[in-house]
Structure 1
Amino acid sequence: MSPDGAASKPDRLFVEALARGFRVLEAFADRPAAMSLAEIAAASGLDKSAAQRLVHTLVSIGYLEKTAAGVAPSRRILDRSFDYLRSNPLINRAIPILADLRRTIKERVDLSLFDDLTMLYVVRMQSKRDTFYAHLIGRRVPTYCTSGGRAVLSHLPEEDVLDILQRSQRRKLTPRTTVEIDQIMERIVQVRETGYSLAIEEVLVGEIAVAAAVLDEAGHPVGAIHVAASLAEWQPDEFVARAGPLVTAAAAGLRPS
């Protein structure tokens, strides 16, 4: 129904079968392992018959594969990720800047893109101590509690910031995750003053991260550059003094002239 109560018109260009196919692929987002047909049907919200036809089609064209443990995403999906990464001009410009920052700071350097309630990692230059998931591209982290997310929020109007925070499922990822809106707003004010954002053990225990927002030609935030390190090797004040100016300069270097 439309807001005025009238029946909404069907979208004649929308291909429902294609959408259901993507629901099958997205079923693996919360379970990174092979699944049975029944498990795929349940995770995608489809009946078993529809799931069977879609799985068969996706296996036939190479986006799913059958294994001894069930059905799993195939390597062909990576081809589409490659297409996106090489076609994105921001990522293309960022690589040499991130590589130079990584050589200078000798800690993990990331580029994430702003996607409403989450930040999506698209470049990750790992350090010597990263865990498996920590350096995978495609990982999403909450905007509200991450260094990059708060750096982005600092460049948005307050009403937009509040909208994002109110729609976020603000939960503690660690004992030190900031989840109260007023406290998050205080952090954002600090970012506006310093130009960079600091997060200490808010996503991973033992990790400190500093980030600065990447802006487009109109001054709108489109992503962030992060530098992350271990609290076992850095004192917070020392890391901020070292990484803050570097990450700010790197982010400024990515803004189109």
Structure 2
Amino acid sequence: MSSILRADPPQPLDIQAEDDRLFVRAAGRAMQVLSAFHKATGPLSLSNIAAEAQIDRSAAQRLVHTLTRLGYIRRSADDRGYLPGIRLLDHTLDLLRLDPIVQKATPVLLELRKSLRERVDLSLYDETRLIYALRMQSKRETFYASLVGHSVPTYCTAGGRAVLSQLPRAEARAILDRAPMHAFTTKTETDAAAVMRAIDEAREQGFAVICDEFVQGEIALGVAITDRDGAPLSAIHIGGSLAEWTPEAFTAKVAPLTIEAARAIMAG
């Protein structure tokens, strides 16, 4: 489940920073401890956390104790390990309520959801991946599709190809070259040249469409949201079922409304 819930970030945490005198390594190690849960499927032991954070067990013990005292880590109900603490959700709320794109997009996407009656999402651009900040569900709800913070690769998602289409072609290709490409379904395109052709098509159309590439049986359409200089900031994703839509009908219905919504957000 972890592979569909979280795409790898473009750069791993680096707490060495030998040439940065302002860098606080203790704070960096604390973030490494919190990041140890990224690929967890359940509670982690102290040894698990030390291994994932790439620090010694003694340092892990002190950091886990400190973060537990502060509410950022908690013991699991069965007392067999550690889980993230609920105080992390305070910081999630801060990001969502203060991010200008999320502020502008929320009322627009609520109206779009009423018009389309399909799943509507907003994701934030992070080079090789997109991180979902708003999730507005349709009648087909799944666990992974309801989580804010769920991240997906840019190479095989509609929103991802839409944002990459707003970059200079060489920059988009460089991002693909850095991204680990693997198949989520039998239809996932993992050839960089073929993905670039899809990105070129998205650049011409103003949107990207994928069928069966990330989720079997799903069609998704993505439109990029950019800043005033045209650099991608985020994307709107609309997801539908191929059991209910043909690709042509879905695109004809969804594309104009989604493009209009993106323009409204950028003009806000």
- TM normalised by structure 1 equals 0.94
Q: In the alignment, what sits opposite 1:216?
A: 227
Q: Does 1:46 align with 2:88?
A: no
- The structural deviation recorded for 1:9 is 5.9
Q: In the alignment, what sits opposite 1:84?
A: 95
User: Cα deviation per residue 1:180-219 (whole Å; 9 max; x = unaligned)?
Assistant: 1111111112112211100111111111100111011222
Of residues 166, 176, 179 in structure 2, which corresponds to 1:168? 179
Alignment of 1:5-154 (within 5 A): 10-67=19-76, 68=78, 69-154=80-165
Query: Identity of counterpart residues, as a percentage?
Result: 45
- The structural deviation recorded for 1:74 is 1.2
- The structural deviation recorded for 1:256 is 3.4
Of residues 156, 165, 170 in structure 2, which corresponds to 1:159? 170
Structure 2 CA distance for partners of 1:9 and 1:17, relative to 1, 3 Å: closer
Give the 3-state SS of the residue equivalent to 2:185 in structure 1.
coil
- The structural deviation recorded for 1:169 is 0.4
- The structural deviation recorded for 1:73 is 0.5
Q: Does 1:197 align with 2:222?
A: no
What is the identity, as a one-letter code, of the residue corresponding to 1:233? E
Of residues 212, 229, 244 in structure 2, which corresponds to 1:233? 244
Q: In the alignment, what sits opposite 1:186?
A: 197
Q: 1: distance between equivalents of 2:249 and 2:142?
A: 24
Q: Which sections of structure 1, spanning at least 5 residues, go unmatched?
A: 1-7
Preserved CA contact (<8 Å) 1:210 1:240: yes
Q: 1: distance between equivalents of 2:114 and 2:267?
A: 23
What is the identity, as a one-letter code, of the residue corresponding to 2:200? V
Q: 2: distance between equivalents of 1:32 and 1:99?
A: 32
Give the 3-state SS of the residue equivalent to 1:202 in structure 2.
coil
**Stretch of structure 1 that moved more, 79-88 or 182-191:** 182-191
Preserved CA contact (<8 Å) 1:216 1:256: no
Give the 3-state SS of the residue equivalent to 1:255 in structure 2.
helix
Q: Does 1:242 align with 2:261?
A: no
Give the 3-state SS of the residue equivalent to 2:219 in structure 1.
strand
- The structural deviation recorded for 1:221 is 1.2
User: Cα deviation per residue 1:93-141 (whole Å; 9 max; x = unaligned)?
Assistant: 1001100000000000000111011011101101121210112110110
- TM normalised by structure 2 equals 0.91
- Matched positions, count: 250
Structure 2 CA distance for partners of 1:162 and 1:100, relative to 1, 3 Å: same
Give the 3-state SS of the residue equivalent to 2:58 in structure 1.
helix
Preserved CA contact (<8 Å) 1:211 1:248: no
Preserved CA contact (<8 Å) 1:148 1:225: yes
Q: In the alignment, what sits opposite 1:255?
A: 266
Query: Which 4+ stretches in 1 moved above 3 angstroms?
Result: none
Q: 1: distance between equivalents of 2:253 and 2:118?
A: 11
Q: 1: distance between equivalents of 2:25 and 2:166?
A: 37
- The structural deviation recorded for 1:234 is 1.2
Q: Which sections of structure 2, spanning at least 5 residues, go unmatched?
A: 1-16
Give the 3-state SS of the residue equivalent to 1:209 in structure 2.
strand
What is the identity, as a one-letter code, of the residue corresponding to 1:160? E
Larger radius of gyration: 1
- The structural deviation recorded for 1:32 is 3.9
What is the identity, as a one-letter code, of the residue corresponding to 1:250? A
